[in-house]
Structure 1
Amino acid sequence: MNVTPQQALAGTRRTALKLGLGAGYAAATLPIMAQSAIKTSADGLTAGEVMIDVNGFKMPAYRSQPAGKTGLPVVLVLSEIFGVHEYIADITRRLAHQGYLAIAPELFVRQGDAQSYGEMAKLISEVVSRKPDAEVLTDLDATVAWAAAHGGNTDRLAVTGFCWGGRQTWLYAMHSPKVKAAVAWYGRLEGQPTALQPHNPLEMAAQLKAPMLGLYGEADTGIPLDSLAKMKSALKQAADGGNAAAKDVEFVTYPEAPHAFHADYRPSYRKAAAEDGWKRMLAWFKAHGVG
């Protein structure tokens, strides 16, 4: 059997994912931890790696869902720039214990192994910046189709994401009419456009198709409050123009919280803000029929 370079990379990535999920974090390739990560049991769940067909390409993902259950509401979980490591996998298990089929696709698998980088700048330039937004949307559409065929009810579909995944959460909620609720954790709203990332959420506010909850830290030096103010203004203009989803958007900002305040494996973690945001996320899903 002939193996393409992309398939070989996917195989290497699957091995790395399994090793990473079994052994925890590699200190040399991820931000330094301030404390141990939260560990959520897989008892009562079907959890682990699955493969998703994206136009013939096999994309790995980590999926968690209540064992033996079908017709489950679905949550897409979009990772930070570090890919689907144990923190992201744990988030899917937390959601599964709430009754969801939660799935985190490995969106960087074609570009490289995000977990093999010890230097942030190289990770961004060699992997993250090379991921086309259009490809993300195709990957997520395929993930939704996979969920529908494996016990999920995608008429009850939500999406949430962190950092890079927070930006993609905004973009997917502007792309897919199937999304019923979306929660972006400190997702960037504006920035310098590139050929592969040509548009940012701020300029696409009028295309929003789902109710959005944005969770941000007031001490986030990369996403200033001015950026949120501009997004609120753009959404109000969209709502005044008749966009119903733009009328159902809420921002919560946490005083003194930095970027990545939910990432419990990093020094940026802020327990109170993280726990409050989690409760608000679950309430947002249920209030919009995803639960």
Structure 2
Amino acid sequence: MTSSTVTSSTIAKAAKPLLEGLDGLVREPFSRRGFVMTGLVTGFTAATTVVQGQTISTDATGLEAGEVKIPTSDGMMPGYRAMPSGAGPFPVILVIEEIFGVHEYIKDTCRRLAKLGYCAVAPELFARQGDLTKMTDVQQIVREVIAKKPDAEMLSDLDATVAWAAASSKGNIQKLGVTGFCRGGRGVWLYCAHNPALKAGVAWYGPLGGNRSDIQPKTAADVVGELKAPVLGLYGAADTGIPVADVEKQRDAAKAAGKTVEIVIFPDTPHGFHADYRPSYRKAAADDGWARMLAWFKTYGVV
């Protein structure tokens, strides 16, 4: 079964036995605009500085890796999937993008996970809001794309990705994890408060506060008491956008609510320290965080 032949009805039928009891899944209809992006960013994003000499490049030898189409209630959402060649099934890790789209850095992250035995899938969650392949201004992306993505739609898109992975990608969603970077780190917190089937989540410098709106009604701090899966939060002490006090408050609130949350704050480390294509990359913290992420997934059954 190829991704081009998988339909929403096929997914619903194939994934039903695995998805029974997931009362956190979003199924309500949305007012859709249609998909603006039908494919992914080629290469690296044009919206930020790229330091080519330090970027990590993971080959696809021994993998099935490439762009896919993920059926949703209103059409096909582009995404990237990497997994080992072979029969499977493989533990599934959702990879939630930064604000810059599913570009080469996110794709490479999926391949790194696939080399370790995972089926890693990164859906292009902003495909309805704007064409990230053509945007070069960060503020435009924030204003015209990020602020216009309803959280309920994001959660529904992630649910659709889980179902697709189970039905068409040899994915074992009984061993389901999620990780994400920057805005995607916020998505990790929200998705771990949403989907009771998750085994674990790892949020890389995900914003904890921020503005609330009708379509984005809760911050990551607001949902800490609703977490349904253990969360590892990886943060930098020199992150100018996420104060250490807010990170510590998140940790303390989780503890008070009886939730399994571990927070790691790397000294003298800026925001975006895992993004190896950007000037913010800090290899020591990135490597340490990656090792902690893998250990977290192993501890909580995403292996």
- TM-score normalised according to structure 1 size: 0.90
Q: Report the 3-state secondary structure (helix = DSSP H, G, I; strand = E; otherwise coil) of the residue aligned with 2:175.
A: strand
Alpha-carbon spacing, 1:219–1:288, altered in 2? closer, same or farther (3 Å):
same
* Alignment counterpart, residue 6 of structure 1, candidates 11, 34, 43: 34
State how 1:154-173 maps to structure 2 within 5 Å: 154-173=173-192
Q: AA paired with 1:263?
A: A
Cα deviation digits, residues 25-72 of structure 1 (max 9, x gap): 25x433342634100000000000111111131101100000123211
Q: AA paired with 1:262?
A: H
Q: AA paired with 1:171?
A: L
State the match for 1:69 in structure 2. 87
Identity %: 54
Q: Report the 3-state secondary structure (helix = DSSP H, G, I; strand = E; otherwise coil) of the residue aligned with 1:159.
A: strand
* Alignment counterpart, residue 192 of structure 1, candidates 196, 200, 211: 211
2:152 is the counterpart of 1:134: yes
Q: Which runs of 5+ in 2 are unaligned?
A: 1-31
State the match for 1:90 in structure 2. 108
* Alignment counterpart, residue 252 of structure 1, candidates 242, 254, 264: 264
| CA positional deviation for 1:143 | 0.2
| CA positional deviation for 1:128 | 0.9
2:76 is the counterpart of 1:58: yes
Distance 2:54 2:270 in 1: 19
Q: Report the 3-state secondary structure (helix = DSSP H, G, I; strand = E; otherwise coil) of the residue aligned with 1:203.
A: coil
| CA positional deviation for 1:191 | 1.6
Distance 1:90 1:254 in 2: 23
Distance 2:199 2:136 in 1: 37
Distance 2:171 2:231 in 1: 22
Range with greater deviation from structure 2 (38-47 or 53-62): 53-62
Contact 1:72 1:101 in 2 (8 A): yes
Contact 2:189 2:224 in 1 (8 A): no
* Alignment counterpart, residue 132 of structure 2, candidates 114, 123, 141: 114
Range with greater deviation from structure 2 (269-278 or 113-122): 113-122
| CA positional deviation for 1:194 | 1.2
Cα deviation digits, residues 50-103 of structure 1 (max 9, x gap): 111111311011000001232110000000000100000000000000000000
Q: Report the 3-state secondary structure (helix = DSSP H, G, I; strand = E; otherwise coil) of the residue aligned with 1:198.
A: coil
State the match for 1:243 in structure 2. none
Contact 1:189 1:200 in 2 (8 A): yes
State the match for 1:290 in structure 2. 302
Distance 2:212 2:44 in 1: 32
Contact 1:30 1:115 in 2 (8 A): no
| CA positional deviation for 1:265 | 0.3
Contact 1:65 1:93 in 2 (8 A): yes
Q: Report the 3-state secondary structure (helix = DSSP H, G, I; strand = E; otherwise coil) of the residue aligned with 2:95.
A: strand
* Alignment counterpart, residue 278 of structure 1, candidates 257, 273, 290: 290
State the match for 1:224 in structure 2. 243
- TM-score normalised according to structure 2 size: 0.86
Alpha-carbon spacing, 1:44–1:32, altered in 2? closer, same or farther (3 Å):
closer
State the match for 2:17 in structure 1. none
Q: AA paired with 2:191?
A: Y
2:264 is the counterpart of 1:236: no
Contact 1:35 1:264 in 2 (8 A): no
Range with greater deviation from structure 2 (51-60 or 255-264): 51-60
How many residues align? The count is 271
2:161 is the counterpart of 1:143: yes
Contact 1:219 1:259 in 2 (8 A): yes
Q: Report the 3-state secondary structure (helix = DSSP H, G, I; strand = E; otherwise coil) of the residue aligned with 2:37.
A: helix
State the match for 2:274 in structure 1. 262
* Alignment counterpart, residue 153 of structure 1, candidates 157, 172, 178: 172
Range with greater deviation from structure 2 (202-211 or 94-103): 202-211
RMSD over equivalenced CA pairs, Å? 1.5
**Which ranges of 4 or more aligned residues in structure 1 deviate by more than 2 Å?**
4-7, 28-36
| CA positional deviation for 1:5 | 7.2
Q: AA paired with 1:69?
A: A
Q: AA paired with 2:111?
A: R
Cα deviation digits, residues 199-247 of structure 1 (max 9, x gap): 01212111100011000000000000110122122112211xxxxxx1x
